[in-house]
Chain A
Amino acid sequence: MRHRAADLALDATDRRILNALQDGFPLVPRPYAEAAGHLGLDEVELIARLKRMQEQGAVTRFGPFFDAAAMGGAFCLCAMAVPAARFDEVVSLVNAHAEVAHNYERAHRLNMWFVLATETPEAIERVAGEIEAATGLRVCRLPKEREFFVGFRVAA
């Protein structure tokens, strides 16, 4: 594992920042000053700590989170059962498509799971079909039909 909590030596202030900013960040001219005020910090210190935590790898992403579907694009989770002997070859064929946003190997008969992200819904079908043609394997299309609200927060 690349990062462990102990290696990062996050102090209590770092943890308060990580907890607070998961809930949102203001859209005002001096947002760091406003967020810092709620945390009892000043703007310069908040920016410096965020910079350090990004470099350390404690922060995966900081900024706007976009909904591809609301932009008119589309996402589709796909799964394939890839024979072990062909796994590396199929990884290359699948990953060669720029529309494959991420791809995970999972312990299951369906052992390759990837997300297609495209700017149009039609492009999902086109790319999935291209992958099937290139690999000779079925691509199970598992688009989301309903997303439930989650209140998940990582406690830092």
Chain B
Amino acid sequence: MYRAPSRRKTKKEVEKPNLIPILDAVFIFIFFLLMSSRFLNINEIQSDVPIVSDRQPPKSNKKPLALTLRIQNTRIQVLTGVPGSVRKNIGKDAEGDYDLRSLREYLITLKQKNVDEKSIVLEPLVDVSYEDIVKIMDSVRDLNKTDPDIWTKTKDGMDLRVKELFNNIVFGNIQS
């Protein structure tokens, strides 16, 4: 007896696309994009323009510290007072870089004696690179956790730990 052919034979299997090679390619593509992109953690160092004034300075019994760093070819001179007198010379280390650790140690001792002082004047006399100037600015700006504690009194008489060394940086010779 004749039987009609079954329809089961013509039934199509659902084809499942193989996504693995595509995903591999996408992964490599993303990895490449992330590696070639530049994600920078950007920050800033603030500085003010020096103000030249003919006015008489305010009368005060306390002498201004007038801390100045004169950056020379072989050393950094630390000057204080008006007119500035050299307090210390900081040389270079064995690698030919300025000995910023000694500079920092000396500035911490100065800060301990002048807790309220925040300003420092930089006077690079040689054509140092911008990178070196940023390093010098870094070493004079803030106190680290490893540095000796410096305390001051607030107006209310509370003790306050000083976190900044000489944070107000001014370039003294931009007009020369």
Task: Decide whether A and B assemble into one complex.
Answer: no
Binding site for A on B (CB under 8 A): none
Binding site for B on A (CB under 8 A): none
